[in-house]
Structure 1
Amino acid sequence: MRIWTFLLLLIVLVLKSDVAYCDYLIGLGSYDITGPAADVNMMGYANAEQIASGVHFRLRSRAFIVAEPKGNRVVFVNLDACMAAQLVTIKVLERLKARYGDVYTENNVAISGIHTHAGPGGYLQYVVYIVTSLGFVRQSFDALVDGIEKSIVQAHENLRPGSIFVNKGEILDAGVNRSPSGYLNNPAAERSKYKYNVDKEMSLLKFVDDEWGPVGSFNWFATHGTSMSRTNSLISGDNKGAAARFMEDWFERKGSARIDSAEFENDESLPRRISNIIPTLHDNHHELLELAASFQSPPGRPATKTSSVARRVRGSLRQVNKPRFVSAFCQSNCGDVSPNVLGAFCTDTGLPCDFNHSTCGGKNELCYGRGPGYPDEFESTRIIGERQFKKAVELFNGASEQIKGKVDFRHTYIDFSKLAVNVSSNGASKVVKTCPAAMGFGFAAGTTDGPGAFDFRQGDDQGNPFWKLVRNLLKTPDKEQIECQQPKPILLDTGEMKLPYDWAPSILPIQILRIGQFVILSVPGGIILNFL
């Protein structure tokens, strides 16, 4: 397939550069990007009724910069947002250019989202992504642009000599395949190459300042940001946002001291900013007061008799310059990886959903995945976040393989609507072409993380005459597009819909960032590849 051949060539070009060891400058930054917390549609589930009405916990942009003292530098930004947006990136780069000239450009700045489905929407530039938010939402957009810029500025100002270490490990209980029947349609020879039907590996980079010691970490693990359901109305970073806050709180509490995951296995003092839903509504004021009084405040730190006032002042002044610990839990190849690890069940009967179509009595609206804290989605968010957090701490403490080598990058734009693809069938190969984007009937059915409506069904390869008529009122796909998309019946021909402007992207930016022997392949929706 030519697209992957092209990407592999780009990677080879990056790897062919000088691999001699060089010292790094590292800088990390973090800034708030919460945006409007009321009366705005949320991005992810495409549910017009999912309107924000408060904050579960605030969202952040976390940035890291790795630079050679007199050479290349790369920037990676991880957002507590559903995804990145090209328009957001363009505006951020304009601001960075005004500050730093050509130091940061589209070539060496990569921005990615954690895929939370509980953040404010309306910040993308394509119609299909802002239909449910009833158009562009300036407040959402401005919060992202401001926060990303400031997190990169922080990272730039924190640039100091340091080292980077890498570690990898598996998490077996934080993601399952939400379409196992679909996976079984892959050839047996291909499935035999993999141990699981989803990616279970977490990769972690540990950043160590030469003076201050550990100052942060970034990791990549594949699981959807859908622990919070499509009916949730609170702004939230979902399980990955929770994991990031857990790890930052843990480091602040423990400092740079080594800690094993077993130490906090049953630790009641584990910092948890994620509140559980109170099971029942309390109308009685006194009951609420008693509930509030039941939570004990943590003890204060004992005063040290040996420290003089001058010594404490000098220590405080020195700590002012210490960079804040930043920990990002980035999204990887999440595809059909769901955090609802208990499986999918019918809400009316409590029985498992139909295996092949995720329906209940033929209706997809009744089939929902269950998280480990079922029926409390706040608890599910905490548990899946905590599982990622614990593995990250284990990898963080055990990271001993130092990354060495040059910093490099490659960037290109690829038109995914006109790609030549080499496919093989019955021992023969032929070249076919991709076509403009289109959403099928199966798309409207949603997933077990968030079912759709109107009795659409996953895996539908026939379509429905009524909905085809409705589709034609917007855009009737031509014969070439129908044949190109087969066997998928087209519900919305988004790639060819241009009014009032493009409904879906066709040309996407692809970026490869290299830090020594570690390579990251980034697309706007997330990180799809990272390897040594």
Structure 2
Amino acid sequence: MSLRTRLLAVSSAVLLLVTALTGGPAPAAPPGGYLVGVGIGDITGEAAEVGMLGYADPGQTTAGLASRQWARAFVVADAAGRHVAFVSTEIDFVSQAVQQEVLRRLAAEHGDVYGDANVVITATHTHSGPGGFSEYTLWNLTTFGFEAPVFEAIVSGIVRAIDAADASLAPGTVKIAEGTLRGANVNRSLPAFRADPPADQARFPDAVDTRMTVLRFEQGGTGVGMIDFFPTHGTSMTPSNHLISADNKGYAAHLIEDGVHGVDWAHRGAFVAAFAQTNAGDMSPNLRDGGALGPTDDEFENTRIIGQRQADKAQELYASATEELTGPIDFRGRYVDFSDVEVSGAYTPDGQPHHTCPGALGQNFTAGAEDGPGPPIVDEGDMRTNPLLLLAGIVVNPTPPDVRACQAPKQVFLGTGSQHPPWTPQVMPLQVLRIGQLAVTTAPGEFTIVAGQRVRDAVDAELSGVTTHQILAGYANTYAGYVATPEEYDLQHYEGAATHFGRYTGPAYEQELAKLAAALRDGRTTPSTVRPPALPQNRISARPGVVLDTPPLGKSFGSVLVQPGAAYGRGATVRVDFVTGHPNNNLRDEGTFVEIQRQAGGQWHTVVTDSEWQTTYRWEREYLSVSTAHITWTVPADTPAGTYRVVHHGDAKNLLGVITPFTGASRAFTVG
């Protein structure tokens, strides 16, 4: 058991003891005030040989860690006992299976305090995490099926984060600040944006959404957390990357938690900073060539640059936040079957009623986006029928003629909503939540900036006089592709081709979310007539998993293959290679594969783990069942002079399937 794990176990035991001795109930919110709490949980999935989710490339599989993935939770409760939980997860998207299992476990522990109307689970949309945590076929194609360990890591980490936030509830405040950030996103789909009416375009000079909103959470006047909302894709790391990475938003969170508030690995959760998405559908962090290339030619440096820019502006807004959210907490949620929503003419460009369609992906979807191009089969915006894709779609995923007609002008490639069971979700979770004068609108798509603005306008129209601020939190509670405006849809660029429910997908979201906002305003209930289906039959994996680990001849697990040098200056990179086992034997969530230790008083003390961005852990299969851990540590500029060593923790499986932990340590070296 690592030092990190032991500390967490002791802390949990102390918390349980204190709860038992004091009776355990959370304090009551002061009249007109709030209780606030924050929490964090490790959600890092399998670090080797599992397909990564985001770029749809089966060849992009995990091979180590650049950073761990975290779920960050924030709970606010009012004097009436109404709770809202907002969770930001460092994954590509939230699957419906994850959302439903989290809600099930919360209900078992907390009763009816947390449910599908007041728990928001969002994703930062990193493209560098392991996949396989959905029950829908399309999302598991690149992982060759369902990955139970990844699913469990995500679900249990989210629940731990919410539990920690709930347990830490104390009288406090939530403050809001708004500003703008330039230089952290570009529009990667300009032709589609230019198809929108001039009035829509005029709201976004330079075709980008520069708005940033920060919520500051305090307990007794002391800051304990922040949520930053800003739209930019999690694609600073490229399709060639094989290390798990939380990408630019994860790096921004690290800079605030560790850099500003001094939260090291041993005090994780003392301050929690989340960097969440809004309408990032056409917003790319790759600032060159229309979203194709990052600020530099180094993907790690690009991650740091875009993360640093978000962190700097967020900290500025956090420091200047003075407007306090006051007033009741309330929420409305509802599941809607988006395969056939009747959309009123009040929300359509021609003023006539229309309807949505069963989900489908267009041929131009295969072209990919500028920062994640697909194979050279078809170009974005090419409206001609591609015979190869038409035939492939008919063979593997046939689409009825009426669905093809409904989806026009999209040339359908995959009729994902027409299968039994469907290959992508059709029942969408929608929410509108109120925290005083702030409305939080949630939906499970990647909204382009104009599509997102239209949703905000529709909700604002219903909540005028009730709220004065609104956040649209995309990538929430499940995932159903992109949401382009009808005008953008007609061009069938990547975002339009990946808009699942047809030309009127965006107007349907506007309408249904406006209904929830009106119900919240008027105090009406919003019962759901449909529920997401459970698809346990799809929890099948084609991967064999770990079979056996063996060390090379004459070596043992934990043996050092490449020792560090004798001395390093600050800014240098230390590398040590170890004989290792397969990391999927033990994900070591809330633990670590790596420790950097400093010698003091004749004892070794851990100063860094793999939860810090200054280390990398690369796993490599040498041959058959023999593998190597390549560990690096880039020595920070403020590292104290002294004697250090690198420690590696791993686990090995023998022929009988027994998994045994091991630890190896490098020789000592100096920094100074």
1:417 equivalent to 2:339? Answer: yes
Question: Structure 1 residues 490 and 178 mapped into 2: Cα distance closer, same or farther (>3 Å)?
Answer: same
Q: How does 1:379-394 map to 2 (within 5 A)?
A: 379-394=301-316
* Residue 504 (structure 1) aligns with: 424
One-letter code aligned to 1:416: F
Match of 1:199 among 188, 191, 209: 209
* Residue 434 (structure 2) aligns with: 514
CA drift of 1:443 comes to 0.5
CA drift of 1:28 comes to 0.2
Q: Is the 8 A contact 1:21 1:404 kept in 2?
A: no
Match of 2:224 among 210, 215, 219: 215
* Residue 180 (structure 1) aligns with: 190
Query: What SS does the aligned partner of 2:261 have?
Result: helix
Match of 2:93 among 73, 83, 89: 83
One-letter code aligned to 1:113: A
Q: How does 1:394-413 map to 2 (within 5 A)?
A: 394-413=316-335
Query: What SS does the aligned partner of 1:103 have?
Result: coil
Distance 1:60 1:180 in 2: 33
Distance 2:446 2:165 in 1: 21
Query: What SS does the aligned partner of 1:54 have?
Result: strand
1:134 equivalent to 2:80? Answer: no
TM-score by length of 2: 0.60
1:505-529 alpha-carbon deviations (Å, 9 max, x no partner): 1110001121101111112357965
* Residue 531 (structure 1) aligns with: 470
Distance 2:132 2:141 in 1: 8
CA drift of 1:425 comes to 12
Q: Is the 8 A contact 1:371 1:380 kept in 2?
A: yes
* Residue 305 (structure 1) aligns with: none
Distance 2:175 2:149 in 1: 38
Q: Is the 8 A contact 2:31 2:79 kept in 1?
A: no
1:447-502 alpha-carbon deviations (Å, 9 max, x no partner): 1111001422111211211221121112332221121111110111111022xx32
1:369 equivalent to 2:292? Answer: yes
Q: Is the 8 A contact 2:348 2:354 kept in 1?
A: no
1:199-236 alpha-carbon deviations (Å, 9 max, x no partner): 1101000011116x001100110000000011110100
* Residue 471 (structure 1) aligns with: 393
Question: Structure 1 residues 328 and 418 mapped into 2: Cα distance closer, same or farther (>3 Å)?
Answer: same
Task: Using the TM superposition, name which of 456-465 and 223-232 deviates more.
Answer: 456-465
Query: What SS does the aligned partner of 2:199 have?
Result: helix
Distance 1:427 1:465 in 2: 32
One-letter code aligned to 2:245: S
Distance 1:43 1:137 in 2: 12
Distance 2:200 2:89 in 1: 33
Q: Is the 8 A contact 1:33 1:59 kept in 2?
A: yes
1:61 equivalent to 2:61? Answer: no
One-letter code aligned to 1:330: A
Q: Is the 8 A contact 1:441 1:457 kept in 2?
A: no
Task: Using the TM superposition, name which of 474-483 and 324-333 deviates more.
Answer: 474-483
1:338 equivalent to 2:284? Answer: yes
One-letter code aligned to 1:142: E
One-letter code aligned to 1:220: F
Distance 1:460 1:227 in 2: 27
Q: Is the 8 A contact 2:216 2:223 kept in 1?
A: yes
Q: How does 1:488-503 map to 2 (within 5 A)?
A: 488-498=410-420, 501-503=421-423
Q: Is the 8 A contact 2:378 2:386 kept in 1?
A: no
One-letter code aligned to 2:115: T
Task: Using the TM superposition, name which of 428-437 and 518-527 deviates more.
Answer: 518-527
One-letter code aligned to 1:240: K
Distance 2:93 2:348 in 1: 39
CA drift of 1:420 comes to 1.8
Distance 1:250 1:398 in 2: 18
Q: Is the 8 A contact 2:333 2:431 kept in 1?
A: yes
Task: Using the TM superposition, name which of 187-196 and 435-444 deviates more.
Answer: 187-196
TM-score by length of 1: 0.76
Match of 2:371 among 431, 449, 459: 449
1:239 equivalent to 2:159? Answer: no
One-letter code aligned to 1:376: D
Q: Is the 8 A contact 1:112 1:523 kept in 2?
A: no
Question: Structure 1 residues 106 and 123 mapped into 2: Cα distance closer, same or farther (>3 Å)?
Answer: same
Question: Structure 1 residues 476 and 169 mapped into 2: Cα distance closer, same or farther (>3 Å)?
Answer: same
Distance 1:243 1:198 in 2: 20
One-letter code aligned to 1:383: I
Distance 2:335 2:115 in 1: 14
Which 4+ stretches in 1 moved above 4 angstroms? Answer: 423-428, 525-530
1:284-328 alpha-carbon deviations (Å, 9 max, x no partner): xxxxxxxxxxxxxxxxxxxxxxxxxxxxxxxxxxx99x9610000
1:239-284 alpha-carbon deviations (Å, 9 max, x no partner): 001100110012333x9xxxxxxxxxxxxxxx9x9xxxxxxxxxxx
Question: Structure 1 residues 425 and 31 mapped into 2: Cα distance closer, same or farther (>3 Å)?
Answer: closer
Question: Structure 1 residues 152 and 526 mapped into 2: Cα distance closer, same or farther (>3 Å)?
Answer: farther
* Residue 11 (structure 1) aligns with: none
Q: Is the 8 A contact 1:114 1:526 kept in 2?
A: no
Q: Is the 8 A contact 1:83 1:525 kept in 2?
A: no
CA drift of 1:188 comes to 2.1
Q: How does 1:86-101 map to 2 (within 5 A)?
A: 86-101=96-111
Query: What SS does the aligned partner of 2:179 have?
Result: strand
Q: Is the 8 A contact 2:252 2:307 kept in 1?
A: yes
Query: What SS does the aligned partner of 1:429 have?
Result: coil
Query: What SS does the aligned partner of 2:40 have?
Result: strand
Question: Structure 1 residues 458 and 22 mapped into 2: Cα distance closer, same or farther (>3 Å)?
Answer: same
Distance 1:375 1:326 in 2: 31
Distance 2:367 2:158 in 1: 34
Distance 2:354 2:439 in 1: 30
CA drift of 1:68 comes to 1.1
Query: What SS does the aligned partner of 1:75 have?
Result: strand
Task: Using the TM superposition, name which of 469-478 and 409-418 deviates more.
Answer: 469-478
* Residue 463 (structure 2) aligns with: none
One-letter code aligned to 1:153: D
One-letter code aligned to 1:520: V
* Residue 135 (structure 2) aligns with: 125
One-letter code aligned to 1:250: G
Question: Structure 1 residues 476 and 22 mapped into 2: Cα distance closer, same or farther (>3 Å)?
Answer: same
Distance 1:28 1:210 in 2: 14
Q: How many residues align?
A: 423
* Residue 251 (structure 1) aligns with: 260
* Residue 278 (structure 1) aligns with: none
CA drift of 1:173 comes to 0.4
Q: Is the 8 A contact 1:107 1:411 kept in 2?
A: yes
Question: Structure 1 residues 387 and 432 mapped into 2: Cα distance closer, same or farther (>3 Å)?
Answer: same
Question: Structure 1 residues 323 and 507 mapped into 2: Cα distance closer, same or farther (>3 Å)?
Answer: closer
Distance 2:215 2:152 in 1: 30
RMSD of aligned residue pairs (Cα, Å): 2.4
One-letter code aligned to 2:209: D
- Greater relative contact order (Cα < 8 A, sep 6+): 1
Structure 1: tracts of 5 or more residues without a match: 1-19, 256-270, 274-318, 345-367
Question: Structure 1 residues 432 and 193 mapped into 2: Cα distance closer, same or farther (>3 Å)?
Answer: same
Distance 1:27 1:246 in 2: 21
Q: Is the 8 A contact 1:467 1:491 kept in 2?
A: yes
One-letter code aligned to 1:369: A
Q: Is the 8 A contact 1:221 1:329 kept in 2?
A: yes
Query: What SS does the aligned partner of 2:292 have?
Result: strand
Q: Is the 8 A contact 1:158 1:323 kept in 2?
A: no
* Residue 50 (structure 1) aligns with: 60
* Residue 408 (structure 2) aligns with: 486
